[in-house]
Structure 1
């Protein structure tokens, strides 16, 4: 019982930290490169509100669902994880879950302290991450596997792709930002 309470408390703390990072995102053209959300998110004044506006987990099945069209505008992992099948990022989401804001979606692969200093970076191993959400932003951490981009505005922000990035169309490649804050791709960057 006590360990469940500690886990819940830790998850709530991680959620608050991740959402804090979101509020510090620069909402410039580059950071607006993620997708939109049907989930309503509000400014949070409590941990319970924070949990309802983000998907934060250490479970692959939770993260996979959160990245789907039924998920949230922000998805965060709290540890390294491995998928044995391709994962698709789909749906239209808006920054902070507010439909009046720009289309934006964020996949946070890191933890941070109260000063918003990154304290850990996580690796998501997946055969292929298929990005169908517009303005999808992978922040910090590593995607180990290939990324197939089928939407405009894909962004790597301090993140690494240990694999190839393949764009379905040249327009998607042109609209992408693959080097924000030291981001890198170890493999080939191509158009199908």
Structure 2
């Protein structure tokens, strides 16, 4: 019974996200001059290979794990993505998310997962890691990085002052190691 419910929730999540997403598109951001690579739906992953592909510049805007993952190589979250939504000015909203959890139809977190790797480098702007545990060190090169209900068992390094000053972490998030600028 639990297995059918879990499978149903995963299928529902995929359908919800797929229904809300736009077709792949490239857009220009007039304010920054940067180019957004692609708009995509979620990638639900449970293997090392699938996770590494999903976080690449050719991956998806949201990467959702459905199990603990232990990866022996360094990871890089790369690429500029939009989430299929528009802001009040009609501009595409840039976002990238690693979701280390599953949720029910009411968006309640139903399970949390651990991602383990020696190092995770964040190159995608407006990226977040949410509702799980990352074991390893995180290096942030991009602005507006966020932790949401997330635990980092390791250090959090910022490679620029702007990346450090735009970082946000909610009250339920924690970092067991240092949080510092490391250029």
TM-score range, shorter chain: 0.7 to 0.9
| 5+ long unaligned stretches in structure 1 | 1-6, 24-35, 42-52
Instruction: Tell me if 1:162 matches 2:153.
Output: yes
Q: Write the deviation string for residues 41-60 of structure 1: whole angstroms up to 9, x where unpaired.
A: 4xxxxxxxxxxx11111011
Instruction: Tell me if 1:55 matches 2:62.
Output: no
The root-mean-square deviation of aligned C-alpha atoms, in Å, is 2.8
Quick one: distance in 2 between partners of 1:163 and 1:180?
17
- Residues 181 and 16 from structure 1, CA distance in 2 versus in 1: closer, same or farther, beyond 3 angstroms? farther
2:102 aligned residue (82, 104, 111)? 111
Runs of 4 or more off by more than 2 Å in structure 1?
7-17, 36-41, 95-100
Residue of structure 2 equivalent to 1:121: 112
Say which structure is richer in helix. Answer: 1
Q: Which structure would you say has the larger RCO, counting Cα contacts within 8 Å and 6 or more residues apart?
A: 1
Match of 1:129, SS state, is strand
- 8 Å CA contact retained: 1:37, 1:73: no
- Residues 14 and 118 from structure 1, CA distance in 2 versus in 1: closer, same or farther, beyond 3 angstroms? same
Report the alpha carbon displacement of residue 147 of structure 1 after superposing the two structures with TM: 0.2
When normalised by structure 1's length, the TM-score is 0.75
1:175 aligned residue (162, 166, 169)? 166
Report the alpha carbon displacement of residue 16 of structure 1 after superposing the two structures with TM: 4.3
Q: Write the deviation string for residues 25-77 of structure 1: whole angstroms up to 9, x where unpaired.
A: xxxxxxxxxxx963434xxxxxxxxxxx1111101111111111001111111
| 5+ long unaligned stretches in structure 2 | 1-5, 22-34
Quick one: distance in 2 between partners of 1:37 and 1:65?
18
Quick one: distance in 2 between partners of 1:151 and 1:66?
18
Instruction: Tell me if 1:190 matches 2:172.
Output: no
- Residues 96 and 184 from structure 1, CA distance in 2 versus in 1: closer, same or farther, beyond 3 angstroms? farther
Report the alpha carbon displacement of residue 145 of structure 1 after superposing the two structures with TM: 0.5
1:74 aligned residue (54, 62, 67)? 62
Quick one: distance in 1 between partners of 2:67 and 2:85?
24
Say which structure is richer in strand. Answer: 2
